[in-house]
Amino acid sequence: MNTGEEIFVLKTEEELDFLASETLKARYLREGEKDWKDVCERVAKAVALTEEEYLDFKDLMVRKIFLPSSPTLMNAGTEFGQLAACFVIPVEDGVEEIFSSIKTAALTQKTGGGTGFDFSKIRPEGFTISCGNDGTSGPVAVMKLFNEATEIVKQFGRRRGANMGILDVSHNDILSFIRAKHVEGELSNFNLSVMVPDAFMELVEANKVDEVWNRQTGMTVGNIFSEIVEGIWKNGEPGILFYDRINRDNFTPALGNISATNPCGEEPLLPFEACNLGSINLSLFVTDRKVNWDFLREVAGKAIRFLDYEIDENIYPVPEIEAATKRTRKVGLGVMGLHDMLLKLGLPYDSQEALKLAEKLMEQITWASIRESRKLATEKGSFPEYEDSSWELPMRNAALTAVAPTGTISILAGCSAGIEPVFSWVYRRTQTVGREFMLVHPFFKAYFKPKLSEADYEWLLEHVYKYGTLQDVENSELVSEEDKQLFRSALDIDWKAHIDMQASFQRHCHAGISKTINMPGSARKEDIKQALVYAWKQGLKGLTIYRTGSRQHVVLSLQKFKN
């Protein structure tokens, strides 16, 4: 393959591939540790309460059947001891309160935690507080303070700082918020999302775009929605969060409504709450083209126990986070390796069979998680807010399941990320341990290399690396129609199929789903409008859409071309 680049092939066996090895060294190995097994021993020893649990937890991690999130892998058994991945930090409207929130965020981020903020309480730009005052700066200016703080903090850690900035669609500064990242590179440490209620989406669906939404500014539904669509089409931001859908699954409504999430949007949390994440590697649950359901339920139960123990072992950044987290004891068990599982089962990602399987997978994981949480409640007591919660039977945890993006832990596990389809069977990965890698999917290699000549295989690799698809290969002796059905990657899959897959997991998931809805570069703004409405009607809690080529700097990409 004449690209002038070395190809690093992902492996699915015990031996770590080069990228995973480099990631392990850069982020997870501590002093005296030599390999993955050493990391697993340290983490299992820090979390387990008995020798039997230590052996169970270590075995699940060594075999990459279940992995906790990066902060746990980095910090368990160390002086930091901060194990949670997701945090929501409240932002009040006042100088002291704003800088207090920045300090809390900094203390959280330096240990690898991702932070989410609702900036809706910040008064709009130009608001006059008293005579002689020049007016307030507004939420976008405040976000820039948080962004700069993250820029400084990430120089001291092993993990790039990540934030979610959220603004209610009714805020007077909503348009400046939506436009805040129109110039690539601005607010680079933030993802942005607009929080919208059902009432707003109902007007959009009914095409009542001339309805005035904000009477103070005169902004109509159409003004705001078209700006959201423009931003997404331009560079993939902002995302959308559906307020009412999120709060229908708020298991502790007496504590207030939820208005913010973690950086990737899958964990809606109350102020100061933190959440431990972990993911089951679905690719390892297929035997003879069948799913081992008993083993999946068994692993889910052990994973919930692991995540619950972390809540008590965690060293929290500030007392407020510890108090809020222990009131509800939320955890987020999710999955990775979905597309790899589907490949092993011979199911196209966008098939009806795959959607039915996805829903059953999440249903079984959540059911097994609830069963284990009830068992833990019997052993250790229910979460303190249980009596005022919506649970009918005693539970150790207010919420149990969430699907995270699993960026680096899926590299360690050698599997596809989260519930995402494979981006491309051959692709470039950047922003990982400061290097670039060209990667070939192991299933693609195992499938095509034995049946093609070396020259044909090299041609196919180069074609997919260049175009991101094999759907346009006309030679049926190289790629059959059956091959094309099975090997459909992210850009081959219609946006509705992307949303349908997210919805299939969401139906039985307590928190949310982190997933990118990929669209081709040719996608129209009308496609984005339709996708947002469709996602809302399908019951999603949030949505991120990315149109290929709309950003210059991305983690996953195809071959670079010289002018």
Give catalytic residue positions.
Answer: 262, 264, 266
238: number of Cβ within 10 Å: 25
Q: β-pairing, 274-281 with 86-88?
A: antiparallel
Q: Which residues pair with 212 in a beta bridge?
A: 220
**Residue 259 near residue 91, CB atoms below 8 Å:** no
Bond from prior residue into 71 cis (ω within 30 degrees of 0): no
DSSP output for 131-152: TT------HHHHHHHHHHHHHH
**Residue 395 near residue 382, CB atoms below 8 Å:** yes
DSSP 286: E
Residue at token pair 């309160």: 97
Stated as kind and residue range, the H or E segment containing 465 is: helix 454-467
Half-sphere exposure of 115 (CA within 13 A, CB side): 31
Q: Cα-flanking dihedrals φ and ψ of residue 38, to 5°?
A: -65, -40
Stated as kind and residue range, the H or E segment containing 66 is: strand 66-68
**What is residue 338's three-state secondary structure?**
helix
Residues 6+ apart with CB under 8 A from 100: none
378 burial type by CB count under 10 A (0-12 exposed, 13-18 middle, 19+ buried): exposed
Whole-angstrom CA distances from 454 to 445, 458, 460, 466 are 12, 6, 10, 18
- CA distance linking residue 376 with residue 379, whole number of Å: 5
DSSP output for 477-520: TTS-HHHHHH---GGGS-HHHHHHHHHHHHTT-SS-B--EEEE-
Residue at token pair 């939320």: 330
Half-sphere exposure of 510 (CA within 13 A, CB side): 26
Terminal CA-to-CA distance of the chain, rounded, Å?
20
- CA distance linking residue 9 with residue 443, whole number of Å: 10
**Residue 418 near residue 334, CB atoms below 8 Å:** yes
Sign of CA dihedral 390, 396, 398, 402: negative
- CA distance linking residue 549 with residue 460, whole number of Å: 23
Cα radius of gyration rounded to whole Å, the chain:
23
- CA distance linking residue 427 with residue 554, whole number of Å: 12
133 burial type by CB count under 10 A (0-12 exposed, 13-18 middle, 19+ buried): exposed
